[in-house]
Amino acid sequence: MSGKGGVGKSTVTACLADGLARLGARTGVLDADLNGPCMARMMGVKDHKPSPQNGAMIAARNAYGVPVMSMDMFLPEDETPLVWEASSQQGAYTWRSMVEMSALRELLSDTDWGDLDVLLIDLPPGAERLQNLADLLPDLTGAIVVSTASQTAMTVVSRSILMALNVADVRITGVVENMSTMICSECGCTEKMFIGAETVEELAERHGVPYLGAIPFNITLADFLETGRSYIEEHAVHPAAHAILDVAKRVHFWLNNQSK
Amino acid sequence: MALKSTHGPFDGSMSIIYECPTCTMQTAMLTNRAETQMVRSLGVRIGGRTTPEEPMETLRSNLSSGGKESKGQPPSSSGKCPFTGMVNDAIGAAEPEPKKPVWTAGALARIEAIPPYIQPMVKQNVESFAREQGCSEIDEDVMDAVRGTLGM
């Protein structure tokens, strides 16, 4: 979660799925962004159409075996907007969030995930989204916060951290800094993407939550993720792959240290 | 009580009138579009379930593009209650698109004279007024009537 749109929550989710799977954790990915779903595409399973089997919907498995469930698998075309059946779309504000909560509950509970150690849930932007999820999953293990070093994003992310800790009562696994630097594809030099008064690491420290590491911006990463193959395996020498694996290790460590 | 008559669905809402065969006292039941939709959004089957639950039934049956072929679609009528059967039928019933009134050049010119940012809202209000009054055309007389009624 982040509270802010455009910080790369979905990219980080896909990267973490790759990293955690590399570390041997049986990992699944649920796309909780019903209106802007992209995880099926980002995990390389966009053409999968779920079908019921033995009373459950079978999750799609990507090239390295991670099960994925996302709303975009139910929409007929890539660009089809999510429209709920109703006698009229006028006044949809009165019922839309309710049908979306029902749909999210079903995506979670009616999916055959197989045996999992970790289920990563990619939330849409909005500070209240974690609270809604916590209502559905009271035993939620933790929330991974994604932020860029943009001061605007950090203000919103800060608000979401406070919301998670004080209102939703959800533990924070830590903060991932996304798009921390840009690596030049020609000479390999790195440049900061954002410069501001406070760093993401300082933000994490201010809230007393772990800083999980920084993932550099990589122009080919998103395209590669769509293949559904492991970036960490196939770009093992790239600094971004190292960064992703480091973040995944810290998440894995944190998860292993949670009381059962 | 015996079923006397039904009205609608109009604008997603319908009413059913029951009458006592002995004293002729009448009772009406009125559905509210938003409330019916809210109940449906929770996955509640009005009139009760008659078929086993399917995985992701609410999601699939509520998707406007996927509802028709969904196996989880409830039967159009269920149970013994005529009210629930009608409500379920009404939910799936396509309502005709209300016909838009035609604007005359004079009425349009008056709309164009007001600040552009409020034109869409005023047009919508005038069209809604015209429909309520049964006017198929919006001319300057309708505009005057709107002005008098809505204070615009």
Cα–Cα distance for residue pair A111/A27, rounded to 1 Å: 14
**Interface pTM, i.e. ipTM:** 0.74
- To the nearest 10°, report the CA torsion of B127, B128, B131, B133: -110
Is the CB of residue B18 less than 8 Å from the CB of residue B1?
Answer: yes
Question: Is residue B2 very low, low, confident or very high in pLDDT (cuts 50, 70, 90)?
Answer: confident
CA atoms within 13 A on the CB side of B44: 12
What share of chain B in percent tops pLDDT 90? 9
Of B33, B60, B71, Cβ closest to residue A87: B33
The neighbour count for residue B10, using CB atoms within 10 Å, is: 11
pLDDT at A177: 95
Question: Is residue B146 very low, low, confident or very high in pLDDT (cuts 50, 70, 90)?
Answer: confident
pLDDT at B96: 55
Q: Which of A85, A97, A104 is the best residue to mutate to test the B interface, defined by the most B CB atoms within 10 Å of its own CB?
A: A85
Cα-Cα-Cα-Cα dihedral sign, residues B1, B6, B9, B14: negative
Chain B residues at the A interface, defined by Cβ less than 8 Å, are 9, 11-12, 33-34, 36-38, 40-43, 54-67, 71, 90-91, 93, 95
Largest distance between two CA atoms of chain B: 62
Q: Mean pLDDT for each consecutive 10-residue tract of chain A (260 residues)? A: 86 95 96 92 90 90 94 85 78 82 92 95 89 89 94 92 91 94 83 89 95 90 84 89 95 85
**A74 contacts B34? CB cut-off 8 A:** no
pLDDT at A4: 83
pLDDT at A204: 95
Of B40, B55, B90, Cβ closest to residue A52: B55
pLDDT at B77: 44
Q: What is the pLDDT of residues B79-100, one digit of tens each?
A: 556 566 666 666 555 455 567 8
Is the overall model pTM greater than 0.95, yes or no?
Answer: no
pLDDT at A224: 87
Of B9, B54, B90, Cβ closest to residue A52: B54
**A94 contacts B37? CB cut-off 8 A:** yes
Which of B6, B33, B36 lies closest to B18 in space, CA to CA? B6
**One-letter identity of residue A162:** L
**B63 contacts A74? CB cut-off 8 A:** yes
On the question of pLDDT at B66 being above 80, the answer is: no
For residues B23-47, give the mean pLDDT: 79
